[in-house]
Amino acid sequence: MTPEILAALERAKATKRPVVLGTRLPSGEQVLLPDPGQSAALNDAAAKMLQSDESGTVKIGDSDWFLHAHNPPLRLIVVGAVHIAQALAPFATPCGFAVTVVDPRRSFGSDERFPGVAISNDWPDEALDKFVPDSRTAVVTLTHDPKLDDPALDRALKSDAFYIGALGSRRTHAARLGRLKALGHTDEAMARIRGPVGLDLEAVTAPEIALSIIAELVAVRRGSSLGIRQPKS
Amino acid sequence: MNHADSEDILATAAGWRAAGELVAVATVTETWGSSPRPAGSRLAVTKSGKMAGSVSGGCIEGAVADAAMQTIETGTPQLLDFGISHERAWEVGLACGGKVKVFVEKLL
């Protein structure tokens, strides 16, 4: 790998630009894609890799190309700088998520309680308007406080977020759905909200609940059947 | 980030290179069957013996590190093929029964 290619990869990472490192096999000649100087077939194959977030070897013309997708990190927006968030944030990072914790209560959302984690002290609706959750973003609300959770869920439902989870018992969740309905959200749209949040592990402690949330995030991201919620009778 | 932690491994390798180490990076380019690490997984190796990341559950790491040392010396990339049909697979023991191709290149 040449210093030029390495520097270009590092620039793409710093600016969160999705790129594909194309390596011709077995010679090792490398290009960064998309690149208008390369064939449409190679650029198309690279775009597919980014879309599916996968890497692999493809045959283009007479050449084998290894196409290595370098997507920016997935994002996890956690609303509520609470105890469970303290367990969740350091766990989500190594799983590939860039984590932001949102809490307007500065005594909760402090650097001291969340060392090395990005914190926003904006109100959740304002924070989500800024972050613009996309199809690589997960939103999890943990405050139990409708004042904070509801505006975040309202914005999350209007976004392309691939995962929306809300902490709270079934009864809390039913009340929450009633309030969101009053804001104009349909039952069908609200089915996107995973409440109670996380895989059903019968989790009790904060780290256990964090584990259940991470487990469900991974299941949804990787397309596991565990990520599909079955209606409870 | 894509699968696993491949970019962090490249960042680690780049850091080693910037500090004056001689570095090779191995990347899984293709897998068949029950290979433990997906395409894109990286292993970085220095001439001084540092290692970061992985290209398998550990079964071919040694053979890949040997090849990386060669590539550090010669500067020539290699495409390694580990699989049940390959004599070397028995030697290094791909216990999972999978097949994997690994590209080894030097950081220039």
B90-106 pLDDT, tens digit per residue, is 555 555 567 889 999 99
- Decide if B26 contacts B13 (C-beta within 8 A): no
Which of A39-53, A144-158, B30-44 is the least confident region? Answer: B30-44
Contact B39 A54 (CB under 8 A): yes
Q: Given CB atoms, is A53 within the 8 Å cutoff of chain B? A: yes
Contact A54 B3 (CB under 8 A): yes
Contact A73 B1 (CB under 8 A): yes
Q: Given CB atoms, is B35 within the 8 Å cutoff of chain A? A: no
Q: What residue spans define the domains of chain A?
A: 3-70, 75-227
Beta-strand relationship, A74-79 and A63-70: unpaired
Which amino acid does the sequence have at A25?
L
Mean pLDDT, all residues of chain A: 94
Q: Given CB atoms, is A2 within the 8 Å cutoff of chain B? A: yes
- Decide if A216 contacts A199 (C-beta within 8 A): yes
Of A3, A9, A70, the CB nearest to B108: A3
Across the range A106-121, mean pLDDT stands at: 94
HEC string for A152-177: HHHHHHCCCCCEEEECCCHHHHHHHH
Q: Domain A75-227 is classified in which CATH homologous superfamily?
A: NAD(P)-binding Rossmann-like Domain (3.40.50.720)
Q: Given CB atoms, is A205 within the 8 Å cutoff of chain B? A: no
pLDDT in tens, A189-213: 999 999 999 999 999 999 999 999 9
B77 interaction partners in chain A (CB closer than 8 Å) = 26-28
Of B5, B38, B107, the CB nearest to A6: B107
pLDDT of residue B94: 54
3-state secondary structure of A21: strand
Residue environment code for B73-94, b if the CB has 16+ CB neighbours within 10 A, otherwise e? eeeebbbbebbeeeeebeebeb
Better-scored residue on pLDDT, B3 or A70? A70
pLDDT category at B8 given cuts 50, 70, 90 is: confident
- Decide if B41 contacts B55 (C-beta within 8 A): yes
